[in-house]
Structure 1
Amino acid sequence: MIDSLLTAIITFVVFAAGFSAYKTRAIEQTYPNIGELTDIGGYRLNAVHLPRPATADLPALVFIHGASGNLRDQFAAFAAPLSGRAEMLFVDRPGHGYSERGTAENALPSGQADAVARLMDKRGIKSAIIIGHSFGGAIAAAFGMRHPEKTEGLLFLAPATHPWPGGVDWYYTLAAMPFLGWLFTHLFVIPLGLRRVETGTLSIFRPNARPADYIIKTAPELVLRPQTFRNNAADVVNLLAYVSAHAPRYREIKAPTVIITGDSDDIVLEELHSRGLARDIVGAELVTIRNLGHKPDYVTTDVAIAAMERLAGQPRDLQVLAAQAEIRIADLTEESAEPSAVSQAVTTS
């Protein structure tokens, strides 16, 4: 009986690990690296670097993605609408996308901020506007504190920067554990995670509509690879203690700052994080958009770009643009709520 049970367990482990390895290769074949790896001192960071065009009217822009993401997320949102306007650097954070994890300090936003600064040096970018979405907001804040000479401005998009009540989801805690985490990520994450990609990506946009091509453009499945998921879990698990210790220091930030957030963000609560940043960073402008969820980079891309222009010294009334975006969001919501002629016929028949 014991021998049979042991045989069954071993068979399951071998099968599950083999399936995860197979799907990891398949995911990487579906979403190959679109960036370039650069050694920044013992390990390599991956990034897409678009050199400064002759027509540029903005400073260099450095984009830092959020948890469970990779550089494709911000690249798909901003590369095309900003084409010809700036030098741009879209970074895979350490241990995400195709970047190597590097040293132990890269499990914290401060270490990742330093890694981005070293990559900028390697790419010849002396200073830039730093744009951080969600978890990337904590890294952007750390960058502004640790590398003020490289910071021309800070743009926070639905940032995660302050302590919050409660902890994190159980699967992050489990995945970050030394031995059980390895088993969990190598045996269960891919088969379970692949079933949640659709609902998970819909939820980060809610209450707004997710673009139909969002998954194919941004490759969220890359985070399901076992080591990447463990890196992501460690980042998330470490964040609460980190921001609890460092949020009181945000007053040290002197760079021009804009914060764009939605009042309907269920992923990162704007009343804790965005309002906290606006309170803590002297002179920061808070732009709160009604009925906007967690993705201002996609839903209100125009407002985000106007904020970059504002940080570059160009006259932009972000509050007026936010009000216009609210009207647009309301119109889209009404359109999606209206039943089609077919459904009306079915309902009234």
Structure 2
Amino acid sequence: MPSVFTLPRIGLSLLLILLLIIVALVALAIATQIRARAVEAETPNIGELTDVGGFRLNALHVPAGPDADLPPIIFIHGASGNLRDQAGAFLEPLRGRAELLFVDRPGHGYSERGGPENDTPEGQANAIAGLMEQKGIERAIIVGHSFGGAITASFGVLHPDKVEGLIFLAAATHPWPGGVDWYYHLASAPVIGPIFCHTLALHAGMMRIEAATDHVFAPNRRPETYLEDTGPALVLRPSAFRSNAKDVAGLHAYVTAFSPRYREIAKPTVVITGDADEIVLEEIHSKGLARDIAGSELIWIEGLGHKPDYIVTDIAIAALEKIAGQERDLQSMARAAEPRLAATRVDPKGDAPSLQAGQ
């Protein structure tokens, strides 16, 4: 029989352990806030916040030049990203040629999340449509990279009157076998999710950010200044990490229900993808888009990974020009790019986490 002194000792030990855990979590939360502020200081907002109905979207809005030859263009970034990602690839090559709108999706970059409707690509497409109205943009070519492809496809179905054409870059748009990495489900869960996002996620993510971005570009080379220029660490801030997790964790269910509607799209469409994408399954997503959208053109490039926006920027711009009515042979451009990609192929540095849905 235990002595009367044993139970109080056990209870005291458990209380001490609980207290130590709480102290550790508080310390991690404080360290997270300090580090998150440092990330924002290193990557300040280059856009402007606009109210779109109860919350504000952040976007970089660049007017067209006097000799513009393209319609307005809206760029939608992928998971774990922000507007600097697409701006880094397209802003300078297209400056003056069109009115450009680079959007921080709800909850990403410096945009507010808004309500639960923005947990889906449909809600985010509606938010971007509202932003177009606020900016006075009637119709535009919509360009979506990776997860942004699901939003672009939803936009094409839900807001055809605002669409000049659609361009999909390594898009994630269809149901795929398997799931996504465990931490997306953890971070999006009630109670434990916010705790994880406010204590551990940022510190763990910063340790893996170089390897993770190398993996996104593989087997192509990541630009030397990509981390400094595009600020991917912004997604590691607690609120952004949770928003990103909700996006990714819910994508499979969403595209399973919504993708049959892609057949309603009747706008000029170009789908650009590579056969070496380590993030999305191009055989399912890109080929699925080409199958579902009548009259679309699939540009299949050997040796291209998940970042056609950076690796074959010229082909993406030529696709914009083709949608605008200019003569462009995108297939010949793809064949011409393949020897360069083969010659510059690199091995990924480490086995960074992979999203089988999309970045």
TM-score, normalised by the number of residues in structure 1: 0.95
Give the distance between the partners of 1:55 and 1:104, measured in 2 at CA. Answer: 42
Give 3-state SS (helix, strand or coil) of 2:344's partner. Answer: helix
Give the distance between the partners of 2:14 and 2:279, measured in 1 at CA. Answer: 45
- Does 1:306 find its partner at 2:343? no
1:261 alignment counterpart: 273
1:332 Cα deviation after fit? 2.4
Q: Indicate conservation of the 8 Å contact 2:169/2:272, yes or no.
A: yes
Deviations, residues 95-150 of structure 1 (Å, cap 9, x unaligned): 10000001211000000001001000000100000000000000000000000010
**Sequence identity of aligned pairs in percent?**
60
1:316 Cα deviation after fit? 0.2
2:43 alignment counterpart: 31
- Does 1:128 find its partner at 2:125? no
Give 3-state SS (helix, strand or coil) of 2:58's partner. Answer: strand
- Does 1:321 find its partner at 2:333? yes
Give the distance between the partners of 2:29 and 2:88, measured in 1 at CA. Answer: 32
2:214 alignment counterpart: 202
2:304 alignment counterpart: 292
Give the distance between the partners of 1:327 and 1:58, measured in 2 at CA. Answer: 30
1:212 alignment counterpart: 224
2:288 alignment counterpart: 276
1:4 Cα deviation after fit? 2.1
Give 3-state SS (helix, strand or coil) of 2:328's partner. Answer: coil
Equivalent AA in structure 2 for residue 73 of structure 1: D
Give the distance between the partners of 1:7 and 1:331, measured in 2 at CA. Answer: 57
Gaps in structure 1 of 5+ consecutive residues: 338-349
Give 3-state SS (helix, strand or coil) of 1:255's partner. Answer: coil
Equivalent AA in structure 1 for residue 29 of structure 2: A
1:341 alignment counterpart: none
1:330 Cα deviation after fit? 2.0
RMSD (Å), alpha carbons: 0.9
- Does 1:184 find its partner at 2:192? no
Give the distance between the partners of 1:240 and 1:69, measured in 2 at CA. Answer: 19
1:222 Cα deviation after fit? 0.3
Give the distance between the partners of 1:182 and 1:94, measured in 2 at CA. Answer: 18
Give 3-state SS (helix, strand or coil) of 1:287's partner. Answer: strand
The number of residues matched between the two structures is: 335
2:75 alignment counterpart: 63
Give the distance between the partners of 2:14 and 2:157, measured in 1 at CA. Answer: 58
Give the distance between the partners of 2:134 and 2:93, measured in 1 at CA. Answer: 26
- Higher relative contact order, structure no. (Cα contacts within 8 Å, ≥ 6 residues apart): 2
Deviations, residues 305-326 of structure 1 (Å, cap 9, x unaligned): 0000011110000000001111
Deviations, residues 251-274 of structure 1 (Å, cap 9, x unaligned): 100010000000000101110000
Structure 1 segments of 4 or more deviating over 3 A?
none
Deviations, residues 11-36 of structure 1 (Å, cap 9, x unaligned): 10111111011111111111110100
Equivalent AA in structure 1 for residue 175 of structure 2: P
Deviations, residues 207-255 of structure 1 (Å, cap 9, x unaligned): 0000000000110000000111000000001100110011111110001
- Does 1:118 find its partner at 2:136? no
Q: Indicate conservation of the 8 Å contact 2:184/2:249, yes or no.
A: yes
Give the distance between the partners of 2:318 and 2:98, measured in 1 at CA. Answer: 14
